[in-house]
């Protein structure tokens, strides 16, 4: 999803808390707090514990919640 959006011209950053790399397949991997600060729209594709614990903060943004976190 991220690569497709990037190819379509969107500014895409990711948050993969279980990977220490700063970039994954050409997409910046940012800490959760930076994602919330910098993003206008979130696409949740995984149900990481960090996301579950902060679902209220996440839902304060525009979100496509593919995994159904609540």
Q: What pLDDT is attached to residue 11?
A: 95
Judge whether 7 lies within some domain: yes
The alpha carbons of the chain give a radius of gyration, in whole angstroms, of: 12
Query: What pLDDT score was predicted for residue 70?
Result: 84
User: Using one digit for the tens of pLDDT, what is the confidence trace for 15-65?
Assistant: 999 999 999 999 999 999 999 999 999 999 999 999 999 999 999 999 999
**Count of domains in the chain?**
1
Question: What are the tokens at 41?
Answer: 């729209």
Counting beta carbons within 10 angstroms of the beta carbon of residue 13, is it exposed (0 to 12), middle (13 to 18) or buried (19 or more)?
middle
Classify residue 56: in a domain, yes or no: yes
Both tokens of 48, joined, read 């990481």
Identify whether 70 is part of a domain.
Answer: no
46 belongs to a structural domain:
yes
The domain of 16 spans: 2-65
Q: What is the pTM of this model?
A: 0.84
CA distance 15 to 13: 7
Residue 25 half-sphere exposure toward CB, CA atoms < 13 A: 10
């Amino acid at each position: 999803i991220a690569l497709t959006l990037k190819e379509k011209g969107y500014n895409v950053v990711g948050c993969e808390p279980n990977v220490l790399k700063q970039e994954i397949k050409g997409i910046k991997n940012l800490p959760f707090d930076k994602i919330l600060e910098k993003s206008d729209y979130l696409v949740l594709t995984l149900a990481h514990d960090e996301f579950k614990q902060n679902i209220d903060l996440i839902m304060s943004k525009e979100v496509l919640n593919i995994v159904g976190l609540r």
